Amino acid sequence: MSSAAIAEETVVWWDFLGGGDGVRMKQMISDFNAAHEGEITIDATTLEWGVPFYSKVQTSVAVGEAPDIMTYHASRIPLAVEQGVLQEITADDMSKMGLNKSDYADATYDAVSIDGKQYAVPIDTHPIVLYYNKDLLAAAGMLTEDGRPKGMDSREAFTATLKALKDNGVQFPLGSVTADGNFMFRTIYSLMGQQDGELMTDGEFLAGDNAAKLENALSVLQEWTNEGLQSTYTDYPATVALFTSGEAAMMINGVWEVPTMADAYSNGTLFEWGAVELPVIFDHPSTYADSHTFAIPANQGGETSDAKHAAVLEVISWISKNSLFWATAGHIPAYGPVTASAEYQAMEPNATYSSLTANMIFDPKTPLAGVAGPIFDVMSSYFVPTLNGEMSPAEAVEEIKYELNDM
Amino acid sequence: MLRNRRIEGLMALALISPFLAIYGLVFVYPTIKMFMLSFTDAPLIGAGDWVGLENYERLPRDRRFHTSLWNTFYFIVLTVIPGTLIALAIALGVSRLKGWLQSFVLALFFLPYILPVSVVYLIWDWTLNFQFGIAMHLLDWLGLDRVPVTKSTDWFMPAIGVVTIWWTAGFSILLLLAARRAIPVEIYEAASLDNSGGWSTFSRITWPLMWPVTALVLTIQLILQMKIFDQVYLFSQGGRPNDNMVLVYYVFQRAFQSNQGGRAAAVAVVLFFIVIVVSVMNFQLTRLSRGRDK
């Protein structure tokens, strides 16, 4: 750095990362600031995840008080574009950042684009995975030579694995977040994807045989409940607790719980564990994923200076290229060169489940979709009774279809 | 003389004008805006096109609106009168205690009222948790089946009702205790000289003399519970929000989650009129009964 007076740029940053990943992101921000001393400083604030965050973004953009950069869920981009809160990321921006479309998985890149325009830069994908307790599986004879669960390739085989665990005295072979339909959306949507089912086609919800595919997905989960193979009325924290205490042998949860397990394991308070791609219950592998992205708010009434814009691009570029550390939060870095690196390939269980990147499906592209969005709420209200055996899958599908199409 | 009157009037107006200005800005203007919005298809932020009565015409077919309407009234029935009667019983009980014991017991009942709703939620959510909740262990011990309280439609509203009474009773107790203390002790002395029994003392002295305050407590409770949002929002998160929908939550959902400002405004207008009608009815009823005592 020459001593020439270069105005230091402050980049105002908002995110919603409150958990273990938030701690890691704060570390990355301070690393960034250290690496750009005298040039760029990130001034970061963490807001509450979900509806509060997105409402605040929308109102702040409208009055011209938005941050310079923010984290955004890919699933929320269709609504954001309709509301006009995001700036387009141009080809010119991408080349300034030194990032290429080819560095990203097609599904991920597609999730941040609407009508051929790019609105965000993906930083990661965070799918759901199957966590498992190696000790309990081994005791039930359900662990393969290379330490993976048996019966991952069909509905019958996986159900047999669950039954073997039950017969071996495990109270809950599978811990599922059955009290939280918002969460179960991810599992159910994955199971629909395994049958090539789609939630929305040509603006209509559950058209044609998509309704039957949703019903199949619900039927499997209800069967596991009825057979006593799955925890009932379990909310999110309780599900994690059942798994870590050894009462549930397996758990379907997001990759963001990886740090929880890794930390507990290194403290010596957790059993031998692993995480793999979801079992193939239907035709082929498929897993629901969402993506954390960086987006630039379309602030009303204020033109951003070129220097500021360049600083924002530098932030996105630097974080993307240094996202190996972000992988310790469990998320799969979206930037290809990072996941292809030898360091990432040596990270476990991350490298094992990152294979599912090829089988990812994202939310339907509609303004009604996305975390904490209306589709979530509608489906959630019918998932909970169905998964706990209060309502038949057929009835649930009929109700969901009616309500979604009524929105 | 007359000029003084007028100056006094102007003075009074000048004194309340800052308040009136703020009131107009934060209440009157948004209310008018809400009425106008309800006839458009506006998103949450920004302008929309005029659609006439369309938002209102959708309400009779709107399942979530029915649910929220029903749940709101159900909740009022569950909480307002039972909650006030419980508070009255506790207030009368506490009024018989003496000295530090009275302060202590009163503090005990008042404590939940000063808790923020998020803390109330955490306490009860873990108490009622299906896997780990102490309430479930109690059911086990009694040999009964566990109940997924906050995740079932049958139990949700009653449970939230109980939590709400527990949470808000403190304030009602305080008001009712003050009302009880305001009754001159001579009246009770006269009653005991006339050999008045417990029930007749209560029904002919305590109840009528405490009625104005009881009516006030009922009114406060009624308006408060009609606008219930926080408890339902917190307890139904992730569970079955659309089954546990109440009117304010529905307005919130339409506006902030579905980005449909116009449709949200229409529901808000309906809620506005419900609150006004119920409040007016309530004033009439309580005034009528007060008239009886003359």
Per-residue pLDDT tens digits for B151-173: 888 899 999 999 999 999 999 99
**The pLDDT value given to residue B286:** 75
Give the angle subtended at the CA of B197 by the CAs of B193 and B200, to the nearest 5°: 110
Q: For residue B259, which residues of chain A lie inside 8 Å, CB to CB?
A: 79, 82-83, 367
CA distance A49 to chain B (A): 13
Which of A4-18, A173-187, A194-208 has the least mean pLDDT?
Answer: A4-18
Compute the average pLDDT of residues A315-333. 94
- Is B54 an interface residue toward A (CB < 8 Å)? no
State yes or no: pLDDT of B294 exceeds 50: no
CA distance B251 to chain A (A): 13
**The pLDDT value given to residue B1:** 59
Residue B288's pLDDT band (cuts 50, 70, 90)? low
Which two structure tokens, joined as six digits, stand for A161?
């694995």
Residue A5's pLDDT band (cuts 50, 70, 90)? very low
Chosen for mutation from A48, A225, A232, A233 (greatest number of chain B CBs closer than 10 Å) is A233
**The pLDDT value given to residue B290:** 55
**The pLDDT value given to residue B2:** 64
Residue A158's pLDDT band (cuts 50, 70, 90)? very high
Phi, psi of B9, rounded to the nearest 5 degrees: -60, -45
State yes or no: pLDDT of A1 exceeds 70: no
CA distance A155 to chain B (A): 27
Cis peptide before A149 (omega within 30 of 0): no
Compute the average pLDDT of residues B113-132. 91
CA nearest to A175 within chain B: B131
**The pLDDT value given to residue A2:** 41
Q: Hey, what amino acid is at A336?
A: G
Phi, psi of A318, rounded to the nearest 5 degrees: -65, -45
- Predicted confidence (pLDDT) per residue in B92-115, tens digit: 999 989 889 999 999 999 999 999
H runs (alpha helix) in chain B: 2-23, 29-37, 54-58, 63-95, 99-110, 117-127, 134-141, 153-181, 185-193, 198-201, 207-226, 230-235, 247-252, 261-292
**The pLDDT value given to residue B93:** 93
CA distance A378 to chain B (A): 6
**The pLDDT value given to residue B289:** 55
- Predicted confidence (pLDDT) per residue in A40-98, tens digit: 999 999 998 888 899 899 889 988 899 999 999 999 999 899 888 999 999 999 999 99
- Predicted confidence (pLDDT) per residue in A256-307, tens digit: 999 889 989 999 999 999 999 999 999 999 999 999 999 999 988 777 888 9
Residue A12 has a CB neighbour count (10 Å cut-off) of 18
**The pLDDT value given to residue A4:** 42
Q: For residue A81, which residues of chain B lie inside 8 Å, CB to CB?
A: none
Q: What is the DSSP letter of B205?
A: I
Compute the average pLDDT of residues A191-199. 95
With pLDDT > 90 as the criterion, what percentage of chain A qualifies?
77
**The pLDDT value given to residue A18:** 82
**The pLDDT value given to residue B223:** 87
Residue A182 has a CB neighbour count (10 Å cut-off) of 22
- Predicted confidence (pLDDT) per residue in B202-217, tens digit: 888 899 999 889 988 9
- Asked if residue B38 lies in contact with residue B265, where contact means CB atoms within 8 angstroms, the answer is yes
Chosen for mutation from B155, B242, B250, B251 (greatest number of chain A CBs closer than 10 Å) is B242
- Asked if residue A229 lies in contact with residue A212, where contact means CB atoms within 8 angstroms, the answer is no
Chosen for mutation from B45, B124, B230 (greatest number of chain A CBs closer than 10 Å) is B45
A58 to B257: CB separation less than 8 angstroms, yes or no: no
State yes or no: pLDDT of B221 exceeds 80: yes
Compute the Cα dihedral for A393, A395, A396, A401 and give only its sign.
positive
Q: For residue B118, which residues of chain A lie inside 8 Å, CB to CB?
A: none
Q: What is the DSSP letter of B146?
A: P
**The pLDDT value given to residue B98:** 87
- Predicted confidence (pLDDT) per residue in B222-278, tens digit: 988 998 999 998 888 767 778 888 999 999 988 887 788 899 999 999 999 998 898
Q: How far apart are CA B243 and CA A181, in angstroms?
A: 12
Q: For residue A62, which residues of chain B lie inside 8 Å, CB to CB?
A: 45-46
State yes or no: pLDDT of A3 exceeds 50: no
State yes or no: pLDDT of A405 exceeds 90: no
B238 to A58: CB separation less than 8 angstroms, yes or no: no
**The pLDDT value given to residue A6:** 60
**The pLDDT value given to residue A181:** 84
State yes or no: pLDDT of A387 exceeds 80: yes
Q: For residue B152, which residues of chain A lie inside 8 Å, CB to CB?
A: 390
**The pLDDT value given to residue B99:** 87
Q: For residue A55, which residues of chain B lie inside 8 Å, CB to CB?
A: 44, 256
Q: How far apart are CA A112 and CA A90, in angstroms?
A: 12
Closest CA to A271 of A238, A245, A240: A245
Query: How big is chain A by its Cα radius of gyration, in Å?
Result: 22
State yes or no: pLDDT of B53 exceeds 80: yes
State yes or no: pLDDT of A151 exceeds 60: yes
**The pLDDT value given to residue B111:** 93
Q: How far apart are CA B149 and CA B160, in angstroms?
A: 9
Residue B195's pLDDT band (cuts 50, 70, 90)? confident
